[in-house]
């Protein structure tokens, strides 16, 4: 199957082909026809499956095909043109990468797109919103800021996408999302993408979606077999020394390192810099300019180490990222899967290393229980852990998951989704087997499509 056979326009296929992509991934093969038919969709797709192209490509096709009727048949008020498609994401980085995909795939279409998110001034965004914006990619908080100032028109949105909906609920965006939904027309197409189908997601989907098709691409909690996972046992006080040793000994470059907290990320960057290893941090307390600069340097390989917290790392999507290091294990085992899913994409090999001290043995056990495998342990000579060390409580370990976002944390009551047309369940995706990537027929995986 090719993108042409999925029913996409020649202009879109041309843009994709120029990037060297001809064969859709499983999520794209299933999602694109559903979106083109105009129905609602509930899709379970983890990072690395190519989901962004799964909704951006058909949205571009629909808006382009309907552009004439949309401009002539609507009783649009004189003034600001309407936003026709709204894509909500949990983080700034993910918003920027989704909009980058929209521009790349729609380069031969007469459609305009933009991003709006916090951390930067509103004035340039207000100025751009005065012109035509067909596709708007936004984070919820900053979008509501514009709504309050009357600088954005959501009254004629035709397609709504909630990307990484599970993370948005975890971050406490539920109230903001409901406020945004109240501003949209009742007649619209809704697409919800989530890595997990928790009770909260099911309850939210049942209130949002109208008889949605259901796609569940892969079993939850599967790690890609393209990622070589390893645990280094070490004392807590010697983690930084061990990390420096591993980077130098193995000549690692483009190393994405995860910490639990913002303070821990900043402290580690300072220590690595003192060890003459170029490093920068990316987290919620950094300005958007600093985050963009760090990510750009990391992507072009001029920065050796990028230290990130879990929330800030959403949207970090780098082709052929070779190394992920869990400097500290996450409190949520599911976050371990999201972390190491940043490497080993599109058939490329990757390495995921975890530095584990005695405090984290229970967290390691929870991760291994979740992924149903025991991770190989290694002790580096000179960094042997003290076998008599006592575990200490992990401080601020849940900071990133429990801190409410704009509008506060809100729990949805459990419920089952409303009537759904089941399309396919447990289809093999990028996370469960090593995909075949041939130069003549590459796939749009997440590293290519974000």
Q: Mind listing the pLDDT tens digit for each residue in 246-292?
A: 999 999 999 999 999 999 999 999 999 999 999 999 987 888 788 88
Are 34 and 215 in contact by the 8 Å Cβ rule? The answer is yes
Q: Which domains does the chain have, with CATH numbers?
A: 10-219+408-449 (3.40.50.300), 227-394 (3.40.50.300)
Alpha helices in 237-358 (DSSP H): 239-249, 262-274, 288-299, 310-313, 333-340
Enter the pTM of the model. Answer: 0.67
Give me the pLDDT at residue 222, please: 62
Of the candidates 144, 9, 105, 127, the one whose C-alpha atom is nearest the C-alpha of residue 66 is: 9
Q: What is the pLDDT of residue 72?
A: 40
Residue 347's pLDDT is: 62
Please say whether the beta carbons of 312 and 292 come within 8 A. no
Q: How far apart are CA 49 and CA 27, in angstroms?
A: 7
51 - beta bridge partners?
A: none
Measured CA to CA, the distance from residue 318 to residue 315 in angstroms comes to: 9
Q: What is the pLDDT along the chain (450 residues), one digit of tens a residue?
A: 788 899 999 999 999 999 888 889 889 999 999 999 999 999 987 666 788 999 999 999 999 988 644 444 444 444 567 899 999 999 888 898 899 999 999 999 999 999 999 888 899 999 999 999 999 999 999 999 999 999 999 999 999 999 988 888 878 899 999 999 999 999 999 999 987 777 888 889 999 999 999 998 765 556 667 788 999 999 999 999 999 999 999 999 999 999 999 999 999 999 999 999 999 999 878 887 888 888 889 988 899 999 998 876 666 777 678 999 999 999 888 888 888 878 876 667 889 999 999 999 999 999 999 888 999 999 999 999 999 999 998 865 443 333 334 433 333 333 333 444 444 433 433 333 333 222 334 445 444 443
Given this model, what pLDDT does residue 272 score? 96
Task: Tell me the three state secondary structure of residue 315.
Answer: coil
């Amino acid at each position: 199957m090719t993108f042409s056979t999925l029913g996409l326009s020649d202009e879109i296929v041309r843009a994709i082909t120029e990037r060297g992509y001809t064969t859709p991934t499983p999520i794209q093969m299933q999602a694109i026809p559903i979106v083109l038919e105009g129905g609602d969709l509930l899709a379970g797709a983890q990072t690395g499956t190519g989901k962004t192209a799964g909704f951006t490509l058909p949205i571009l096709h629909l808006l382009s095909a309907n552009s004439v009727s949309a401009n002539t048949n609507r009783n649009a008020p004189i003034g600001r043109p309407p936003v026709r498609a709204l894509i909500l994401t949990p983080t700034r980085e993910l918003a920027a990468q989704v909009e980058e995909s929209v521009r790349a795939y729609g380069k031969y279409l007469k459609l305009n797109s933009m991003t709006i998110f916090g951390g930067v001034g509103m004035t340039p965004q207000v100025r751009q919103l005065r012109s035509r914006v067909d596709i708007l990619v936004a984070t919820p908080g900053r979008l509501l800021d514009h709504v309050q100032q009357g600088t954005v028109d959501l009254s004629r949105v035709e397609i709504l996408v909630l990307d990484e909906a599970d993370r948005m609920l975890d971050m406490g965006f539920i109230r903001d999302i409901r406020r945004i939904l109240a501003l949209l027309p009742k007649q619209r197409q809704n697409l919800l993408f989530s890595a997990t189908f928790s009770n909260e997601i099911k309850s939210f989907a049942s209130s949002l979606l109208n008889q949605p098709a259901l796609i569940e691409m892969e079993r939850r909690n599967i790690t890609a077999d393209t990622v070589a996972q390893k645990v280094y046992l070490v004392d807590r006080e010697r983690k930084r020394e061990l990390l420096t040793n591993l980077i130098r000994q193995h000549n690692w470059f483009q190393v994405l390192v995860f910490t639990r907290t913002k303070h821990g990320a900043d402290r580690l960057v300072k220590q690595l810099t003192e060890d003459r290893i170029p490093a920068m941090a990316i987290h919620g307390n950094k300005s958007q300019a600093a985050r963009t600069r760090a990510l750009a340097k990391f992507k072009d390989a001029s920065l050796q180490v990028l230290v990130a917290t879990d929330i800030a790392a959403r949207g970090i999507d780098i082709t052929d990222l070779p190394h992920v290091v869990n400097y500290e294990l996450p409190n949520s085992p599911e976050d371990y899967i999201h972390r190491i899913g940043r490497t080993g994409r599109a058939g490329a090999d990757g390495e995921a290393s975890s530095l584990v001290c005695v405090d984290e043995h229970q967290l390691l056990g929870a991760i291994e229980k979740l992924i149903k495998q025991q991770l190989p342990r290694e002790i580096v000579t000179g960094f042997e852990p003290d076998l008599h060390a006592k575990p200490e409580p992990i401080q601020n370990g849940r900071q990133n998951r429990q801190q409410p976002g704009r509008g506060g944390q809100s729990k949805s009551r459990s419920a089952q989704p409303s009537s759904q047309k089941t399309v396919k369940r447990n289809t093999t995706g990028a996370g469960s087997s090593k995909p075949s990537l041939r130069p003549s027929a590459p796939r749009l995986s997440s590293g290519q499509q974000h």
